[in-house]
């Protein structure tokens, strides 16, 4: 059965195909509710901490700048498949942290969609992995997708490091997304909050330059599992699902 909107709804405006998801969602000129009037997009179910729409927009920009510098990526150069980022993590929003980690507001704040949109802002691909994977399953996804870096969480770090080693991803290209209740972080790893803070003082990135129809062609996510299906079947990109911007 086909359902149609009531007449009072009006016609849906044309959906632009020359910009990535992050710009469409976070930029008011594309029809979203004004940032200042928007409800908080994410609230942590464990701590009750929340982030505003403006905070999320700012963090996407700051983190994207840091990613571009950290990996030497230029926004409008190369293919998105040159900038594949593995994300092996639980959903995280916000946790308290000492002032020394984030002196601007005394907390560390990040969420997985902020990370993915920051990746998209540099014309990259986010490849989220099933948090129940073992090291060999994760290695398969990292190798098959061509991931250059890996973001994970402290409880999954041992598996992440084993899979990264098997995928020739160096240890200094494994990053930690903070979670409520984390213990001390091992030395030698950058936290996402630290990257975000670094990005605050970096210059704005150049605008994304897409041609007409690129939103239908460019890959935003490479998803190998719904979260319960284990290893992907054989096929293009090892059975990965390709989600366009």
d(CA 178, CA 94): 8
Reported residue count of the chain is 245
The SS3 call for residue 142 is helix
**CA 234 – CA 231 distance, rounded (Å):** 9
- As a whole number of Å, the CA-based R_g of the chain is 18
User: Which stretch of 26-40, 103-117, 139-153, 181-195 has the lowest confidence by average pLDDT?
Assistant: 103-117
pLDDT digits (tens, 9 = 90+) for 44-69: 777 788 889 999 999 999 999 999 99
Q: Are 138 and 129 in contact (CB under 8 A)?
A: yes
pLDDT band at residue 239 under the 50/70/90 scheme: very low
pLDDT of residue 59: 93
CA atoms within 13 A on the CB side of 70: 27
What does the alpha-carbon distance between residue 69 and residue 235 come to, in Å, rounded to a whole number? Answer: 34
3-25 residue pLDDT tens:
887 888 777 777 788 988 889 88
Q: What domains sit in the chain, N to C, each tagged with a CATH number?
A: 18-244 (3.40.50.12780)
Which residues is 101 bridged to in the sheet? Answer: none
Per DSSP, 100 falls in state T
- From CA 215, how far away is CA 165, in angstroms rounded? 34
CA distances in angstroms from 184 to 59, 87, 98, 157, 179, listed in the order given? 24, 21, 11, 13, 12
Q: Is the pLDDT of residue 209 over 70?
A: yes
Q: How confident is the model at residue 111 (pLDDT cuts 50, 70, 90)?
A: confident
Question: Poorest-confidence range of 8-12, 36-40, 98-102?
Answer: 98-102
Question: What does the alpha-carbon distance between residue 54 and residue 35 come to, in Å, rounded to a whole number?
Answer: 6
Under 8 Å between Cβ of 146 and 174? no
């Amino acid at each position: 059965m086909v359902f149609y909107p009531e007449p009072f709804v009006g016609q849906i405006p044309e959906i632009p195909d020359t910009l990535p998801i992050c710009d469409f969602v976070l930029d008011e000129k594309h029809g979203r509710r004004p940032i200042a009037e928007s409800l908080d997009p994410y609230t942590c179910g464990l701590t009750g901490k929340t982030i505003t729409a403006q905070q999320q927009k700012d963090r996407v920009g700051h983190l994207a700048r840091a990613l571009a510098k950290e990996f030497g990526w230029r926004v409008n150069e190369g293919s998105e498949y040159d900038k594949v980022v593995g994300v092996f993590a639980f959903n995280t929003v916000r946790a308290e942290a000492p002032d020394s980690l984030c002196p601007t507001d005394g907390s560390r704040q990040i969420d997985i969609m902020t990370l993915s949109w920051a990746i998209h802002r540099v014309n990259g691909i986010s490849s989220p992995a099933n948090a129940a994977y073992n090291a060999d399953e994760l290695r398969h996804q990292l190798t098959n997708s061509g991931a250059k870096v890996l973001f994970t969480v402290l409880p999954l770090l041992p598996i992440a490091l084993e899979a990264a080693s098997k995928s020739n991803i160096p240890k200094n290209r494994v990053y930690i997304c903070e979670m409520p209740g984390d213990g001390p972080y091992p030395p030698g790893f950058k936290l996402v909050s630290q990257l975000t803070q670094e990005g605050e003082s970096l210059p704005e990135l150049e605008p994304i330059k897409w041609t007409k129809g690129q939103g239908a062609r460019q890959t935003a996510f490479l998803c190998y599992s719904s979260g319960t299906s284990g290893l992907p079947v054989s096929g293009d990109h090892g059975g990965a699902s390709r989600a366009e911007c």
